[in-house]
Amino acid sequence: MIVKGSIQLTALKSIIEKRKKNDGTEALCLVIPLELNRLKATDKGQVYLNFTSWTTKQGGEKISRPIINQDPGRDAREILKAEGKYPPTLGNLEFSEFGEASTAQATVTDIISAQDDLPF
């Protein structure tokens, strides 16, 4: 069985901006502030996004595409719940017996030029 999915990184608090590369050309970049998204860098500088995935039911039947939500940990989840908020839904998964699963693609809607201060 093949499992494919997509994660919409822009569901996190983020900004897409253009940055100049060393050769002077521009590159489109996604900036994701760690603290605002309840992410932490390891001692080696690695950043992991933990997630939870499950199927939901509609009318007593399972939906075949499990959704993916960020899993910020129990303590952060309880804080969000007390504020009436929930971790962001990041995408979904699709199962295929034949390797023909399709994936959804996120689109870029807001592109801004690089600034010294991030607008968070």
* pLDDT at res. 66: 84
pLDDT digits (tens, 9 = 90+) for 3-38: 788 889 999 999 999 999 999 999 999 999 999 999
Q: Would 21 be classed as within a structural domain?
A: yes
Q: Would 118 be classed as within a structural domain?
A: no
- How many C-alpha atoms does 6 have within 13 Å on its Cβ side? 10
Q: Would 110 be classed as within a structural domain?
A: no
User: Cβ neighbours of residue 106 under 8 Å, at least 6 residues apart?
Assistant: 6, 8, 9, 10
Q: Is pLDDT of 47 > 90?
A: yes
pTM check: above 0.75: no
Residue type at position 59: G
pLDDT digits (tens, 9 = 90+) for 86-96: 899 898 888 77
* pLDDT at res. 82: 95
- Domain coverage including residue 35: 2-103
> How confident is the prediction for the chain on average, in pLDDT?
79
Q: Would 111 be classed as within a structural domain?
A: no
Q: Would 70 be classed as within a structural domain?
A: yes
Least confident of 17-31, 44-58, 103-117: 103-117
For the four alpha carbons of 80, 86, 88 and 93, in that order, the dihedral sign comes to positive
The residue that leads in pLDDT, 57 or 86, is 86
* pLDDT at res. 96: 76
5 and 103 Cβ atoms separated by less than 8 Å:
yes
* Opening angle at CA 65, ends 48 and 32, nearest 5: 25
